[in-house]
Structure 1
Amino acid sequence: MSRITPFYVNEKNAAALLDMGVSEFRAHVKAGHLPRGQEIVPGLLRWDAESLRMIGRGAAVEGMQGVEW
């Protein structure tokens, strides 16, 4: 059986994608260095996994107008 690659991840997994602890990840989101999560349904906050991968690769310059560099 093949492994599923998620489109959206929770806060813990978003932090893990960037090799950070959750508190460090939250601090960077709060400071505007990383994008905020999206409420994909009421009460369910998730981060776009591909956007986080792009940030990790340094390929996220375009489309990140909400992030303060």
Structure 2
Amino acid sequence: MGHQTQPIAVRDTTAAKMLDLPATEFHKLVNAGALPKPCNLGHHVRWRVSDIQAILDGHAARPSEDFEL
């Protein structure tokens, strides 16, 4: 029996899928400040799964200003 590990950080396309969004919409929301910024791991850009999960659970901080896309 193999042991699968859960990722703690994911690419933009995976993060967008977690929120059921197209990648372009995901990036618009990140740029608008509605979604968290990524972290850089060397040359790799990743989003923390815990940040995405907090959004899904309703525990993420709200943007300080209203915004329009």
TM-score of the superposed pair, with normalisation by structure 1: 0.81
1:28 Cα deviation after fit: 0.2
Give the conservation status (yes or no) of the 8 Å contact 1:11–1:22. yes
How many residue pairs get aligned? The number is 64
- Residue 46 of structure 1 is matched in structure 2 by 46
Corresponding letter in the other structure for 2:52: L
Tell me the residue number matched to 2:60: 60
Give the RMSD, CA atoms, in angstroms. 1.6
Cα deviation for residue 59 of structure 1 reads 1.2
**4+ residue runs of structure 1 moved beyond 4 angstroms?**
none
Write out per-residue CA displacement over residues 16-48 of structure 1, whole angstroms, 9 at most, x where no aligned residue.
Answer: 11111100100000111101111021x210000
Structure 2: runs of 5+ lacking an equivalent: none
Larger Rg: 2
Q: Which amino acid aligns with 2:11?
A: N
Match for residue 3 of structure 1? 4
CA contact 1:33–1:68 (8 Å) conserved in 2: no
2:51 aligned counterpart, secondary structure = helix
The gaps in structure 1 that reach 5 residues or longer are none
